[in-house]
């Protein structure tokens, strides 16, 4: 699972948006809904990539409807 790698990347660079997205996906798969939501929300704060922002919004919508 990518969770430990993403956590390490965030430790090294807290502004690395992709690590939050990756950890959000991992948390979602592990059933850690609140952690996944927090990760996707943080990703949205940091990212300026419209495509991946849309993907994160879709992930958040799915998580909030569970």
pLDDT digits (tens, 9 = 90+) for 13-24: 999 999 999 999
Question: pTM of the prediction?
Answer: 0.93
When the pLDDT of each residue in the chain is averaged and rounded to a whole number, the result is 95
Question: What is the domain extent for residue 14?
Answer: 3-64
Burial of 7 (0-12, 13-18, 19+ CB in 10 A): middle
The number of domains in the chain is: 1
**31: CATH:** 1.25.40.10
The pLDDT, as a whole number, for residue 66 is 81
pLDDT digits (tens, 9 = 90+) for 7-66: 999 999 999 999 999 999 999 999 999 999 999 999 999 999 999 999 999 999 999 998
């Amino acid at each position: 699972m990518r969770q430990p790698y993403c956590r390490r990347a965030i430790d090294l660079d807290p502004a690395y948006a992709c690590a939050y997205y990756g950890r959000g996906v991992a948390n979602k798969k592990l059933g850690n809904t609140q952690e996944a939501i927090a990760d996707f929300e943080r990703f949205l704060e940091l990212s300026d990539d419209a495509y991946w922002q849309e993907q994160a919004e879709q992930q958040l919508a799915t998580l909030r409807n569970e």
